[in-house]
Structure 1
Amino acid sequence: MTNIDISIVVPLYRCETAIKELTTRICNTLEAQSLSFEIIYVNDASPANDWQEVCAVAKNNKQVKGLNLSRNFGQHYAITAGLSYASGRWVVVMDGDLQDQPEDIALLYNTAQEGFDIVLGRRVERQHSFLKRTGSIWFYRALAYLTDTDQNAEIANFGIYHKNVIRAILSMKDKVRYFPTMVRWVGFRRIEIAVNHAARNEGKSSYNFKALLNLALNTILSFSDKPLRLTVKAGILISFISFIVAAVTFFRAIMGLIVVSGYSSMMISIWLLAGVIITLIGMLGLYIGRIFDQVKDRPVFIVQQTINFE
């Protein structure tokens, strides 16, 4: 770490049209606060011209730095890459599509000076469609339940974090990275404040239903064993019900109430139990797969190019 006051980490994917404006607004905001800073753009192998735009801006502004990843690793891995290169006493993480407002960085920083290690931006008026807002609410509720952590659809990555928080997050060796959950796991003194949320500058989010589902599955399997505990409870419940059914069937048989054994009920029971068993085996396989990924110890990101890093 150096004597830079703030590092701004911005993951990029299809944000080429926002980079110049975002840079200007960040610089204006932090220069008005008389703060030293660096802007670290992380190009997550965007198919658009994000990296070319970063290079063009960085050529005339040494405060702008860039990382170009070797392939598309994902937003939270791009954030991890940016955090690894950040040198500021404080680190701001924000999106590159102008939905997070650069002017709110001053509010985050000033609030942090009141004695907080983490100041999270709570989006009070989310500029998303009704379906996406509703889906996000249920997504975060399910994620909170299955990971036993606090999750809030109004809070994403936008916030300011003390360098000690960043060091703690970088010390986590998890191969699956989900920044908001990692922030919650490390603890530290935190507060949430209301921030503005604008409409996306251009295009649409890359987080479709499939991407959200994969993100949720990876996060749940990496941060919690609750699904395994739930399957144990389900197994106990099924065993209890099976015991009752067996007892009833036994007493009906000795009382002569069962004349012909039911083919349908037998087949239903077989298919039901087979489905439960296959599901449990599949879940165990997913956890074993995560262990396999962890022990391979591959890097979570690879930087192909850098700009303005000494």
Structure 2
Amino acid sequence: MSNTCISIVVPLYRCDKAVEELTDRISTTLGALKLSFEIIYVNDASPSADWEAVTQIAQENTRVKGLNLSRNFGQHYAITAGLNYASGDWVVVMDGDLQDQPEDIPLLYNKAQEGFDIVLARRVERQHSFLKRTGSKWFYKTLAYLTDTEQNAEIANFGIYRKNVIAAILSMKDKTRYFPTMVRWVGFKRTEIGVNHAARKEGKSSYNLKALLNLALNTILSFSDKPLRLTVKAGIFISFAAFIFAAVTFIRALTGHIVVSGYSSMIISIWLLSGVIITLIGMLGLYIGKIFDQVKDRPTYLVAEKINFE
């Protein structure tokens, strides 16, 4: 049975300059609480010296543990790897760029002691550009609508989770991993508290518009069949509209209002229906592709190296 109270899981990508400061701040903060803890850094095959920074610190501090993934799998797969190795009764997930502040962990932990299984950190003033905030806002709105789940642009991965919540998330066999949506899907008693959001220590986020769109598409296809249901509704609507148009055309022909038959409406109808059919086939193809990925049953991540794990 574990005697670790809190496991801190931190995915890393281009965060080598922040690792030492983050470790010191976590250690100082949790040391003041007099709680046992471990810090699990997961290097997602970062091109910078993230793994070297982790190994150097881990050699001097056995509370610091590291996982080095064999290639870049993505942030949420790195989080999954860290969760699988976490041994604490509580697990904190946070980013490694110092925008999530370790000094807020006691707030999350103390709130959790009021009987909550999940306490999420709500970023009061996000330190992102206007374009990033706007993109995130519409990303989460679209995600919420198409997955029928609650989404909030002010809430990301940062939070504290009871170990039974983590066990429930790890029991999900989805090959597409998106941590915030998985947290909302499993349920449990959840609340949120406001926290400050710091500026990124260096560099910029790897989530550009293309990455956000890909993430949204993969998450929607994995968590919901709503796009298919919307397509069916659109097909019914188009069929109904076509029936009305045909009836009106037939009546006009009988009453002599159509003297010369034209081809414009026919061509438009053909193009419209062709577009709908191609879209539907493409959507079905995407879902079949997801099923193909699922049945291959490949591991969601591979660990090349680890340090300070027994």
Which TM-score band applies after superposition, normalised by the shorter structure? over 0.9
* Deviation string, structure 1 residues 173-229 (Cα, Å, up to 9, x no partner): 000000000000001101100011001110000000000000000000000010011
Could you say which residue in structure 2 is the equivalent of 1:295?
Answer: 295
Could you say which residue in structure 2 is the equivalent of 1:58?
Answer: 58
Could you say which residue in structure 2 is the equivalent of 1:165?
Answer: 165
Could you say which residue in structure 2 is the equivalent of 1:110?
Answer: 110
Deviation at 1:258, TM superposition (A): 1.4
Could you say which residue in structure 1 is the equivalent of 2:131?
Answer: 131
What is the correspondence of 1:78-157 to structure 2 with a 5 Å cutoff?
A: 78-157=78-157
Secondary structure of 1:256's counterpart equals coil
What is the correspondence of 1:260-271 to structure 2 with a 5 Å cutoff?
A: 260-271=260-271
Deviation at 1:135, TM superposition (A): 1.4
Q: Distance in 2 between matches of 1:84 and 1:261?
A: 68
Q: Distance in 2 between matches of 1:11 and 1:170?
A: 16
Q: Could you list the runs of 4 or more consecutive aligned residues of structure 1 that deviate by over 3 angstroms after TM superposition?
A: none
Q: Distance in 1 between matches of 2:8 and 2:167?
A: 16
The residue type equivalent to 2:112 in the other structure is: A
Q: Distance in 2 between matches of 1:26 and 1:88?
A: 15
Secondary structure of 2:304's counterpart equals strand
Secondary structure of 2:102's counterpart equals coil
Could you say which residue in structure 2 is the equivalent of 1:198?
Answer: 198
Could you say which residue in structure 1 is the equivalent of 2:276?
Answer: 276
Q: Distance in 2 between matches of 1:167 and 1:274?
A: 46
Secondary structure of 1:158's counterpart equals strand
Q: Distance in 2 between matches of 1:262 and 1:86?
A: 70
Name the % identity.
81
Q: Distance in 1 between matches of 2:263 and 2:189?
A: 62
Deviation at 1:78, TM superposition (A): 0.2
Secondary structure of 2:165's counterpart equals helix
- Extract unaligned runs of 5+ from structure 1: none
Q: Distance in 1 between matches of 2:212 and 2:138?
A: 11
The count of residues paired between Structure 1 and Structure 2 equals 310
* Deviation string, structure 1 residues 33-54 (Cα, Å, up to 9, x no partner): 0000000000000000000000
Q: Distance in 2 between matches of 1:53 and 1:3?
A: 27
The residue type equivalent to 1:189 in the other structure is: K
Q: Distance in 1 between matches of 2:46 and 2:131?
A: 26
Q: TM-score, normalised by structure 2?
A: 0.99
The residue type equivalent to 2:157 in the other structure is: N
* Deviation string, structure 1 residues 99-121 (Cα, Å, up to 9, x no partner): 00000011111111111100000
Deviation at 1:263, TM superposition (A): 1.8
Q: TM-score, normalised by structure 1?
A: 0.99
What is the correspondence of 1:63-82 to structure 2 with a 5 Å cutoff?
A: 63-82=63-82
Q: Distance in 2 between matches of 1:113 and 1:246?
A: 66
Deviation at 1:67, TM superposition (A): 0.2
Q: Distance in 1 between matches of 2:45 and 2:302?
A: 11
The residue type equivalent to 1:109 in the other structure is: Y
Secondary structure of 1:17's counterpart equals coil
Secondary structure of 2:18's counterpart equals helix
Superposed CA RMSD in Å reads 0.7
Deviation at 1:256, TM superposition (A): 1.9
- Extract unaligned runs of 5+ from structure 2: none
| Comparing 46-55 and 248-257, the one that deviates more | 248-257
Q: Distance in 2 between matches of 1:63 and 1:261?
A: 81
What is the correspondence of 1:19-30 to structure 2 with a 5 Å cutoff?
A: 19-30=19-30
Q: Distance in 2 between matches of 1:261 and 1:206?
A: 57
* Deviation string, structure 1 residues 248-275 (Cα, Å, up to 9, x no partner): 1111112222122212221111111101
Deviation at 1:165, TM superposition (A): 0.2
